Amino acid sequence: MAQAPAPALMLRDGDEEELRRLVRSSTARAGLVQRARIVLLASEGVGNGVSLGPRGLLEHVGTWTVDESTYTPVSQHHSETIFTIGNGYLGSRGTFEEGHPEERRTTFLHGVFDSVAGAIAEIANVPDWTAVQVLLDGDQFRMDSGSVEDYRRTLDLRTGELTRSLRWVAPSGSEARLDFRRFASLADEHLAVVTVRVTPEQDSVVEIRVPVFSSAWNLSDETNRIPYTEHLANLVGDDVVGAHVATVDRRYEVALAARVTAVGPAAASELWELPGALARTVRFQAEAGRTVGVDKVAAYETSRDGGTGHDVAAAALARARAAAGVDALAGANTARWAEDWAECDVEIDGDDDAQLAVRFNIFHLLVVGPRNDDQVNIGAKTLSGSGYHGHAFWDSEIFMLPLFTHTLPGVARHPLDYRWHRLPQARAKAASNGLEGAQFPWESADTGEEVTPTWLPRWDDPSALRRVWTGDIEIHISADIAYGAMQYWRATGDDDWFAAHGAELVLDTAKYYAARAEPDADGTFHYRDVIGPDEYHEHVDDNAFTNAMARWNIRTAFDVLDWLQEHNPARAADLADALDLTPDRLGIWREVVDGIVVDIQPDGRIPQFRGFFDLIDVDLDEYEPRNKSMHEVLGLEGASEHQAIKQPDVLMMTLLLENEFTEEQKRANYDYYTPRTDHVYGSSLGPSMQAIIAARAGLAGDAFEHFTRAALADLRDVRGNANDGIHGASCGGVWQAVVFGFGGLKIEDDGSWSTHPALPTHWDRLAFNFTLRGERHRVQVTR
């Protein structure tokens, strides 16, 4: 991603091995190694990406747009992911308006989940607002029909608008230019807009159909697609068409109404109404060179917004009819985006590729952050794909929320409120395991109950099943949620929210960890049979991350109680009564917190879990080249016997709890665990955190390498799995890598802050904003 003359970024056939040699050479100059790594990633990336080499399908024409100039069907699912747009209420993949074979067309609405055929709850696909069909002299336009010329698709990160322009030669020989434009309004989250313009090169009959289909299919099972929605009614009124549906199991009601306006002299307009399908068709007798088209203004309403039955349908119809024209809607949307970018933008001089990649990652969090709903969280794949079924993990609090906490705190509060509202379910899970307190589920959907699948097919033998243990024993997530609540409170100073919601999250999770700790005769306490963030190793004892976060959680609970008793004694008394925080119980907590084991060796190294240093050591370079994870290479059982790790488990602990460890300890663990981490094919969560740690340790080359891996995770599809949706945690991690790593921002518990910059060698300037306790700060780092 380093800025360089064009020839330096060109990749010729046969150059890959030389680039690998440069990447691995310890004697190569840092700048050259950095550039070599970037070009190598450009050559090996799967699918589209920023144009860092001639094999890239996306062109780099600026720092605010993602541009595609080649229609490449083999990469369509990756393109659908990176061209996803949304507005914090809905998210729609970047499928073509007219449809395409094997497309994964989805529109997801925050909080609308369903269970199909008894399966686990997953984000439900709902009727699509983007569909428009164009016929030119009887030939239906499709990208895989006729001839496509002068093609360009552009995502404008500043406005959230997705446009497509092309010249089409129909099978019959008729020719026309087609222009598509769509956006989901950030100014009014219930509204979305599609426009189509057709300019024929000869007198032609242009027919534009605007369909609404009641059926929407689940896409998580490619071989057994099942409709998620049941048709209740068609919505018809003047120039409005739509559908009222309910999800098949949980009966969430969704109404989609679309107002269709002809642009140009329409020769005819008619309505097609069929069971489960409705369409308005506009026909033009178009003159050569004269542009005609339609504007489609769509409105969504759900039973989650209030009301059921007729009320839902009527609300959608009313929204569509009352909506302003496209120009006014676009203006309001652009203005609203400008407000968010004024808070969130990161500016980089000297590296246009990094600049675009960082904005791309920020954009994909901005389109999913819930602006007005405190009953939803952010799924691991945002609202951009069916990966992980739309479930929320620790990704939300640890990786994604910091961007919002420090720039748009009103957005950060909503996912935390989602957790607070679901404390009853977390308590029920703890109780089902014979424990007290709040044990949050590893995977969470709408209700807050555990939705981690119990069994999944083995990747080495899909006919066999493997047991999934994360929902049972990956228990660090409760502390991660408490950590997110404390980070939000310390950054915002929102005492009212913390007293009402945040304090209870911290106290009830501490209660769980005190109950879950197992005592030994020597006075120590342990967390046995757990899984840490490194999921290559299951059923381990004294995972350092889990132990340290549990200890932090309980210690912090004492601080919270002290604060409440001083600032809000009534709330302190209420919580002490509700959670049974008696002096005897708190005495037990003190014994537990003083006895939790976090083993630090004399040389500063911390075993990832008890016995980790006794496992078979591994040199990952010996397994190159490879295109799959070490979990797959070594097998389920083999991975547990080796020191290859999915993500930097111990290093993340030293980052989150950085004041508990010395700089020498941090460096010793970085040096030990970094070469044993499966950076590319392990977890997408790791590289950004590695970048922060490396930057703070003064390892500029390492920091930039890890940053690049995270920044290109989706643009370049580094892991080959972006088809399933955006890596939301990596997006948030990229922002953290720039701000906390290269920018060196450190915010202390008392509200003080400092910067210790560590710019990549080829960056000339870095600038960003952050909000601390209601005050907006501007940081600029230059050479």
What are the tens digits of pLDDT across the range 613-660?
999 999 999 999 998 999 999 998 999 999 999 999 999 999 999 999
Helices (H), 596-711: 630-640, 649-656, 663-673, 686-696, 700-711
Cα distance between residue 552 and residue 510, in whole Å: 9
Amino acid identity, position 214: S
Q: What span, in angstroms and rounded, lies between the C-alpha atoms of 99 and 141?
A: 10
Instruction: Compute CA 97 distance to the chain's CA centroid, rounded to the nearest angstrom.
Output: 24
DSSP state of 617: P
Name residue, tokens 């106290």. Answer: 507
Phi and psi, residue 115, nearest 5°: -120, 120
Please, is 667 exposed, middle or buried when counting C-beta atoms within 10 Å of its C-beta (0-12, 13-18, 19+)? middle
pLDDT band at 494 (very low <50, low <70, confident <90, very high): very high
* Mean pLDDT lowest among 32-46, 324-338, 687-701: 32-46
What's the pLDDT tens digit per position in 441-479? 999 999 999 999 999 988 778 889 999 999 999 999 999
- What are the tokens at 691? 């970048």
Alpha-carbon span 110 to 116, nearest angstrom: 18
**pTM of the complete model:** 0.93
Does the pLDDT value for residue 411 go beyond 60? yes
Domains of the chain are 83-340 (2.70.98.40), 422-638 (1.50.10.10)
Cα distance between residue 361 and residue 403, in whole Å? 11
What local confidence, expressed as pLDDT, does residue 369 receive?
Answer: 98
CB atoms near residue 617 (< 10 Å): 9
Residue 639 and residue 577 in contact, taking contact as beta carbons nearer than 8 Å: no
CB 316 within 8 A of CB 234: no
What is the per-residue pLDDT for 426? 98
Look up tokens 């993602």; give the residue: 66
> Is 535 known to be catalytic?
yes
State the number of CA atoms in the 13 A half-sphere of 237 facing the CB. 17
Amino acid sitting at position 547: N
Report pLDDT digits (tens) over 207-266: 999 999 998 887 766 666 778 899 999 999 889 999 999 999 999 999 999 999 999 998
Question: In sequence order, which ranges of 159-245 are alpha helices (DSSP H)?
Answer: none
Please give the Cα distance from 766 to 316 (Å, whole number).
44
Given the residues 189, 397, 535, 705, the one annotated as active site: 535
Which pLDDT tens digit goes with each residue over 720-769?
Answer: 899 999 999 999 999 999 999 999 999 998 889 999 999 999 999 999 99
Concatenated DSSP letters for 521-544? TTS-EE--SB--S-TTS-SBSS-H
Q: SS3 of 84, please?
A: coil
Mean pLDDT over the full length of the chain: 91
How much is the CA Rg of the chain, to the nearest whole Å? 27
3-state secondary structure of 261: strand
Confidence band (pLDDT; 50, 70, 90) for 14? very low
Distance of alpha carbon 488 from alpha carbon 493, whole angstroms: 8
The residue among 272, 254, 282 whose CA lies nearest residue 196 is: 282
| Residue 51 scores a pLDDT above 80 | no
The two beta strands, 292-302 and 191-200, are antiparallel
Going by their DSSP bridges, the two strands 277-286 and 175-184 should be labelled as: unpaired
Distance CA 634, CA 640 (A): 9
Q: How many residues does the chain have?
A: 783
**pLDDT for res 223:** 65
The stretch 18-45 carries a mean pLDDT of 32
